[in-house]
Amino acid sequence: MKIYLLLFITLLLVCISCKSIKVREIPILDATQPFSGKIEKIHITQYTYPLEGVLQDTLKETGTILFDKNNKIIEHSEQDEYNNTELILDPKNRYFKSVITKNKNSNIFRSDFTYDKNGNILKFSSYKNDKLVHSNESKYDSKGNIIEKSSSDYAESGKVRNRLDKWSYNYKLNYYIVQSNDNTNAGNQLYVKRSFDKNGFITKEEIVNNKEEVVGTRISYDYDEKGNLMKKCLLGKDETPYDITLYKNILDEKGNIVVREKYWNNKLIEKIYNKIIYR
């Protein structure tokens, strides 16, 4: 799950105000509406259930988020049976500047973020026991949408894998294409095409060639009117959906999500409880 990542993406998108379309992050994990109302704290508990035939136990993860009187986050932590994670906030802008995870094997993982004045991530660095393992830098267009990301992965052997991703947007037809190149790439160049709606939510993802012809995986995303991801599935050549992931929400009287369930092919695989304490 990584609660902090889901909330981080939501908060970052909500805080940016732009008249043009601000394209949202790809809902790899999830996408949900922001919390509203005067909130003092939220206790989050998530259960991840094993799939049929998979030898694993149910995983329980918990998190706590504290807010000030202006609904700004002042503290955020999460735990599971293997890890303890703390999010460090910049007191000036309330963005997460660092995420630190300590596990039972005495490893310490740290992620650092640097932003521009609009809250877009300019630089991201990830460390394992203070050794750099990944870094990337991003550039944005006038609408605040990413147009370039240069990344480097550092192996323990000293080998470095460099990658450059470039985004090209068609704002009239509401889609963009990502072209990726790295120093291990070989063979034909493939591209990813993502379509988005008027609110900037990704609705379809396709592997295409340089003529924008579909040549690989196709994924569809559906949302409700509040921007909650409600369905994700793969699409066959005839648009027939398969490997379907569905979500169900239970709301409180203020309209906030207090229970969210995730189903894969009609089997419950994840359940999140948000215990919201209002002021």
- Alpha helical stretches, state H, the chain: 3-15
Q: Is 202 exposed, middle or buried (0-12, 13-18, 19+ CB in 10 A)?
A: buried
Under a CB-based contact definition with an 8 Å cutoff, are residues 122 and 144 in contact? no
Residue of 39, 98, 35 lying closest to 69 (CA atoms): 39
The owner of tokens 């985004």 is 167
pTM (two decimals): 0.86
What local confidence, expressed as pLDDT, does residue 14 receive?
A: 42
pLDDT in 10s for each residue of the chain, 279 residues: 454 444 444 444 444 334 468 898 877 667 788 888 999 999 999 999 988 766 667 889 999 999 999 888 889 999 998 999 999 988 877 788 999 999 998 999 999 999 999 889 999 999 999 999 999 999 999 999 999 999 999 998 888 999 999 999 999 999 999 998 876 655 557 799 999 999 999 999 999 998 899 999 999 999 999 999 999 999 998 899 999 999 999 999 999 999 999 999 999 999 999 999 999
Nearest to 6, CA basis, from 21, 26, 36, 22: 26
**pLDDT on residue 21:** 83
Domains of the chain: 3-278 (2.40.160)
**Tokens describing residue 272:** 């999140």
Residue 3: its pLDDT value, please? 47
DSSP-based three-state secondary structure for 14: helix
